[in-house]
Amino acid sequence: MATLEQDVSRLTEERFRRMSFVGGDSLPPVDTANLPPGPTWPALVQTAGLLRFRHRFHPYLHRKYGDVFTVRLVPRGRPLVFFTRPEHAKEIFAGDPEIFHAGKANAILGPIMGEHSLLLQDSSQHKRARKLLMPAFNGHALREYESLVTELARAEVAHWVPGKEFRSLDRMNALTLEVILRVVFGVTDEQRLAELRPRVNKTVEISPAVLLGWGYPRLQRFGPWKRTVQNQHELDALMYAEIRERRTAPDLAERTDVLSRLIRTGETGDEQGDALSDTELRDQLVTLLLAGHETTATALAWALHELGRDPAQLRRAQEAADSGDDAWLDAVMKEALRLHPVIPMVVRTLMKPATIGGIDLPAGATVGPSIIVAHSREDNHPDPEVFRPERFLGHNPPTNTWIPFGGGVRRCIGAGFSLMEGVAVLREVLTTYDVTAVGDDEPKVRNITSVPRRGSRIRVQAR
């Protein structure tokens, strides 16, 4: 009889084999004859440009080819058509979910997230998964989470050393990881937390080259790809153990963490098949981990960088923190996400021909708004290079000009959680310290996100 460890190892190996994004047969062939213009470089070069140099690549293509342009990607030069105007984004976000498939467009994440991931599902499967997840992220749930987030943030900033320069990204990553493990996973056992932390970090802190390697099984026997697979085996073993223990926890009915809520929601669902299997729970938890850990940490690091380089902005944010003006702190987070996009694009794969912005596009093409370009267009955001939180005070910019969480029926389910967490953390930092940015910074690509290359270095002093 197979042991639990062997069962989990088998599930991990099956996921890597089944979710390879290379050579899949679910996408229709693409008629590339009349696509919008774009570079003619080899697909591998264009893929590298999109993954590794996105913050220069998107603006370059926009300047050279206009508001709509095509990039060709591995495997087999599949086209990705970018749109940069808000009216185009509106059409894509409002597209028929039976035709505009986001799951297939996100296939590069499949080997890590798994087939049940909310980001990888489409049509009725996506609708079911979102319905089951929504109660864990509604307003009532967020209010219950906020006190624990505040407690964790207070404990984090209490350990900062006044006058000592440090990488705020590292500290924000440590904090948001702790929030995910305790608020989402509901893990409180120190031994399991100690085992989970390094394995989660290794999942997040990988390069675009390793991302591509997930789709080529032969690479997984070597170097960083081999280490990635081994780390996944170890992380999966810990996560399945936590899930199986939680199902039988005597206090399951009283627990407020996301995992416990999902288990209860599935067990009390009013439709056949609502109960989530261990594998489904694992896939959704990893999705929440990857989508909600480094993204929020990066936005916070950029927010501290911008406040730390402008004394007037810092004073205004500290006044908001002191007075409980969460609307201003929320605006600071939103402006940090606008000025420094963490995710570069939102994509859909067309399962049938579609027309966007008057352009006829073939089945099999992938389409999407460029978040990088949308957030930096002068006609969307006047003086786009200036950090100006008041853009979001009392109102939001015009629809589909600020899209860090995507849009439509697939808008990020954790958007409210991310902003709540950001506000709670800023409040604790700013009521305790003055913040000074140390040097300039610029984005670099890590995993699917863009982070401050020098870690958003800051120095704090007690107020």
Whether residue 178 contacts residue 150, with contact meaning beta carbons closer than 8 Å, is answered with: no
- Positive or negative, the CA dihedral 331, 293, 89, 126 is negative
User: pLDDT (tens digit, 9 = 90+) per residue, 436-450?
Assistant: 999 999 999 887 789
User: pLDDT (tens digit, 9 = 90+) per residue, 333-366?
Assistant: 999 999 999 999 999 999 999 999 999 999 999 9
Angle, CA of 226, 175 and 263, to the nearest 5°: 75
Which residues face 52 on adjacent strands?
none
Question: Is pLDDT of 416 > 70?
Answer: yes
Question: Is pLDDT of 168 > 90?
Answer: yes
Which is more confidently placed, 406 or 292? Answer: 406
Q: Is 363 exposed, middle or buried (0-12, 13-18, 19+ CB in 10 A)?
A: middle
Which is more confidently placed, 2 or 324? Answer: 324
CA 5 to CA 18: how far, in whole Å? 20
The model carries a pTM of 0.92
- Positive or negative, the CA dihedral 186, 451, 366, 410 is positive
Question: Is pLDDT of 110 > 90?
Answer: no
Dihedral angle of Cα 430, 436, 442, 447, to the nearest 10 degrees: -40
Look at residue 245 in the predicted model and tell me its pLDDT.
Answer: 95
Whether residue 68 contacts residue 54, with contact meaning beta carbons closer than 8 Å, is answered with: no
Confidence band of 217 (pLDDT split at 50, 70, 90): confident
Look at residue 269 in the predicted model and tell me its pLDDT.
Answer: 52
Q: Which domains can be identified in the chain, with CATH numbers?
A: 4-462 (1.10.630.10)
Tokens 């109660």 sit at which residue?
Answer: 135
Question: Is pLDDT of 114 > 50?
Answer: yes
Whether residue 92 contacts residue 77, with contact meaning beta carbons closer than 8 Å, is answered with: no
Dihedral angle of Cα 132, 137, 138, 141, to the nearest 10 degrees: 110
Whether residue 109 contacts residue 99, with contact meaning beta carbons closer than 8 Å, is answered with: no
23: left (phi > 0), else alpha (psi -120 to 50), else beta? left
Look at residue 126 in the predicted model and tell me its pLDDT.
Answer: 92
Look at residue 74 in the predicted model and tell me its pLDDT.
Answer: 83
User: pLDDT (tens digit, 9 = 90+) per residue, 117-133?
Assistant: 999 999 899 999 899 88
Task: Name the helix (H) or strand (E) containing 393.
Answer: none
pLDDT above 70 coverage of the chain, percent: 94
Question: Is pLDDT of 181 > 60?
Answer: yes
Look at residue 367 in the predicted model and tell me its pLDDT.
Answer: 97
Confidence band of 46 (pLDDT split at 50, 70, 90): very high
Question: Is pLDDT of 2 > 70?
Answer: no
Query: Of 66-75, 97-106, 206-215, where does the model show the most confidence?
Result: 66-75
Look at residue 447 in the predicted model and tell me its pLDDT.
Answer: 75
Query: Of 104-108, 223-227, 263-267, where does the model show the most confidence?
Result: 223-227
Whether residue 283 contacts residue 235, with contact meaning beta carbons closer than 8 Å, is answered with: no
pLDDT above 90 coverage of the chain, percent: 72
User: pLDDT (tens digit, 9 = 90+) per residue, 231-261?
Assistant: 999 999 999 999 999 999 999 999 999 999 9
Helix (H, G, I), strand (E, B) or coil at 347: coil
360: left (phi > 0), else alpha (psi -120 to 50), else beta? beta
Closest of 112, 331, 133, 339 to residue 239, by C-alpha: 112
End-to-end alpha carbon distance in the chain = 62
User: pLDDT (tens digit, 9 = 90+) per residue, 22-38?
Assistant: 544 456 678 888 999 99
Confidence band of 1 (pLDDT split at 50, 70, 90): very low
Confidence band of 180 (pLDDT split at 50, 70, 90): very high
Alpha helix (H) ranges present in 74-207? 86-93, 102-105, 110-113, 123-133, 139-157, 168-179, 190-204
- Positive or negative, the CA dihedral 47, 48, 54, 59 is negative
Look at residue 271 in the predicted model and tell me its pLDDT.
Answer: 53
Confidence band of 368 (pLDDT split at 50, 70, 90): very high
Look at residue 21 in the predicted model and tell me its pLDDT.
Answer: 58
* E strand segments, 46-186: 68-73, 78-83, 100-101, 166-167
Look at residue 228 in the predicted model and tell me its pLDDT.
Answer: 87
Please compute the mean of the pLDDT values over residues 314-319 and round it to a whole number.
Answer: 98
Pull the structure tokens for residue 70. 């095509």
Which is more confidently placed, 202 or 404? Answer: 404
394: left (phi > 0), else alpha (psi -120 to 50), else beta? left
